[in-house]
Structure 1
């Protein structure tokens, strides 16, 4: 196993690469309507769709020098129950998903904190993350990671083709706390700063 996606262990979890053998567990995550309600894609309908999605969004990245795209697994069985990833590109968008039977147990926060520490230690200057205003629990995870709300914007979300108001959070690792990633603000005309408190 090459070290571009090193295994991370936390108190309860193993964070590791996905493999093709994980496709059934991955399908269970990605086919659930509730899990994917606030994500851009529709719930996957077949294992074949899941294999394509797993390959395109995870497996192909493991040949790169670094790829922060992890399966979240419980230590007792090492089977994927969710994922954490960092996108490529300037946004360095941080995202996560989890099977609903594990919601509200701190699993995503535990996994995300471990991956964020690895990202920081690698030397990345910052990460961003966005959440639908109708999914405030995702925003609570961002706050627990130390991320700071920057602004909101309205995007016609694809492929679902619906207008969604997103809140954008950012965590700077380089000490330049005033720096804000502005692509979404500049790209979407309907943008604003909410008074959402801390």
Structure 2
């Protein structure tokens, strides 16, 4: 079984971006991301209502890192320290060598190839550093942009679960994509 240790926190770079730790200094950007109905459209979680909620979200991220049960990075351009998005591994299953990847990006930066660049780098990190055997992504079937990113990064559709989650008075479908270690 895998054993994770996210200390020291791994800072990851690509050609254009840096993935680093989210801190309380990012509260404004976390609030903007998690309170934006467009950004949260396909994420069945409550919108944050104020900076206190955003700080609680940052605290939850950091508690998961410190307890080695999940890890999130802030997405930033190398030449700009402003947080543009969040990417990370959730629902890590050490006994199955599997983890779920998830991400969100400020609408101002959609369509610029930032998420595929970050996903591809985290795939490499997941297989090489975390020693995962498979990575999954769970998306809303109507989230065509995310589906396109996953397909571009080599993920294949594994399942379409009908009405498998109840959120805000209705049942939602979800689609699972996965990628096996090559």
For normalisation by structure 2, the TM-score amounts to 0.86
Equivalence for 1:13: 17
Higher strand share: 2
* CA 168–65 in structure 1, closer or farther in 2 if over 3 Å, else same: closer
* CA 12–32 in structure 1, closer or farther in 2 if over 3 Å, else same: same
CA shift for structure 1 position 53: 1.4
Preserved CA contact (<8 Å) 1:152 1:167: yes
Cα distance in 2 between the residues matched to 1:165 and 1:4: 37
5+ residue gaps, structure 1: 176-198
Residues 84-123 of structure 1, C-alpha deviations (whole Å, 9 max, x = no match): 1111343621110000010111111111111111111021
Question: What is the CA RMSD across the aligned residues, in angstroms?
Answer: 1.8
Cα distance in 1 between the residues matched to 2:69 and 2:121: 16
**Equivalent position SS for 1:93:** strand
Cα distance in 2 between the residues matched to 1:6 and 1:17: 8
Count of residues paired in the alignment:
172
Higher Rg: 1
Q: Select which of 172, 180, 186 maps to 2:180.
A: 172
CA shift for structure 1 position 31: 1.0
